[in-house]
Structure 1
Amino acid sequence: MRKYFITGLLILLPLAITLWVLNLIISTMDQSLLLLPARWQPEVLFGFRIPGLGTILTLLIIFLIGLATRNFIGNKVVEIWESILRRIPIFNAIYSSVKQVSDTLFSSSGNAFRKALLVQYPRHGSWTIAFQTGTPGGDVRNHLTGDYVSVYVPTTPNPTSGFFLMMPAADVIELDMSVDEALKYIVSMGVVTPGHFEKSRILDPKKNAAGPLP
């Protein structure tokens, strides 16, 4: 009976967690219906609640905003709006930081979180998976000798927290693994192993093996 119970649990647990996450996302996005006037609420118009209608409305609003800002007039409106926000104390610091991070992460021309890496952390001989976020810049670059890369080392099983490191490019191995596969590997604590992760290549083609940590 214990074996059958565990088998059933392994089947239902991923399904239950998936449904719970989807319900949380949809319920949160449904809150956008509160932006509508009371007489336009679905409960008033149809007499009953329609789950997911707020999600559709949210996605539609995001799409229309993106569509409107792709032209010259839309860009000017966004520039004026952002110039106003930058004049608000405290709000300016938070908004500017979040915008810089989001622009870097979601930019189609950037390299942030587009490469899964194998690095030695937290000590020599101990390996973990990281993601390349770019290269060091600003005054930091002036104090580093040689080629360095900026990497993010996520924690497991929660990859939203982690550590930011700047490592020599020769000490970093680029994996033949997509970011999604690497995230599954991290979240599962190594249980879900990608089938083709054995193939790897070093960022510096002149090197044949990753060097030791400084």
Structure 2
Amino acid sequence: MKRLRNYFITGLITLFPLVVTIIILVYVFQKLDAFLSQLVPPIISTFIPPSMIEEAGGLISIGIKITALLIVLGLITLFGFFTSQVVGRRILDFLERRIFFKIPLISTIYRPIKEINNVLFTGKKYIFKRVVMLEYPRRGVYSIGFVTAETLLETPGEDSPQKILSVFIPTTPNPTSGYLTLIAEKETVPLSIGIQKAFQLIISGGALVPSYKDKLNKAFERKLGRR
């Protein structure tokens, strides 16, 4: 039962942004179809005799639905083009800061959807390089983080420069906020799970931990073996 529950949560997290998008698109399509169904027949009747309109009623209905679908696809493409331009990105950022991220209910829904969509469905290169485990916020308590950068720094008590990692530790269940830590690489333990899987684990609030038990056990063994 636990495995089935984990599979269900994983599927729900993955499909949620897609389902919300489909619901919105279907709603827009239905509204356009209803609007065109009222607008088009009177216009056609000025050019075509009523008898011919009755005979071609089915074809007209199909044509209206195809037109509504093409309009929806065109609006999506136009919106994508607009938001990929400098002005469009600025307007979208402004709306996010002033509306989407400010209103409690909208923010609760919009933030996770946007983050999940960015992680799971975009072709952009991740800013996260790999997944690690580290002791945070205190010793004995472990957090999952994402390495965003690494550099060599002179550190007190060390004879040579140490590799320091910039690690972003997201919060649960909203991974758009979190904490930035600078930590020596030797103080972290790499996790052999991908970026997408790690995000699913975090967004689930740990419900998917049993699914990654073996990999987490190996990480703890490596961590404890260093002591």
TM-score, length-scaled by structure 1: 0.48
Query: Which structure carries more relative contact order (alpha carbon 8 Å, separation 6+)?
Result: 2
Whichever structure has more helix as a proportion of its residues is: 2
